[in-house]
Every structure is written in C-alpha cells, then in structure tokens.
Amino acid sequence: MPKKWLKAAAIRATRTAAQAALAAIGSATMFGEVDWRMVGSTALLAAIASILMSITGLPEVEKDEGDGE
C-alpha cells in the first residue's frame, strides 16, 4: 500500500474514532455514567469501519495521484 494512502486512511480513521467516542460519551452522560469500555470499543469499531471503507478509495489520494508526485 502506498505511504500516501496509509497516511490518509489513518487520519480518516482517527477522526472517525474521535467522533464516535464523543458521541458515545455524550450519549452515556445522558444515562448518568460513562462506561469507558463501551466508549473504547465504539471508537475502535468506528476506526476499523473507516479503514475498511477507505479500501474502496480515498478522494484526497486519488486527486493527488494526477500531480506527478
């Protein structure tokens, strides 16, 4: 896998995991207690899903491929 793709996929997965963790924390707060294992597993699953979705292609990598870099 090209280095550019790995970097772009890792950035997307990190952002997705952070968004999922924030959503899980916010939802759990409504119930009075945050279950950190649930937050961690939700973030991890979101990151894995993001990586799997990135396999189909990343627009930021595909448009950069025409640059000649």
pLDDT tens, N- to C-terminus, the chain (69 residues): 688 889 999 999 999 999 999 999 999 988 888 999 999 999 999 999 999 988 888 887 877 665 544
pLDDT at residue 69 in the model: 46
- Please report, as a single letter, which amino acid is at residue 40: G
Nearest alpha carbon to residue 39 among 54, 52, 27, 48: 27
pLDDT at residue 1 in the model: 63
Between CA 9 and CA 51 the distance in angstroms is 6
How many other β-carbons are positioned within 10 Å of the β-carbon of residue 46? Answer: 20
Between CA 22 and CA 59 the distance in angstroms is 25
pLDDT at residue 39 in the model: 94
pLDDT at residue 40 in the model: 95
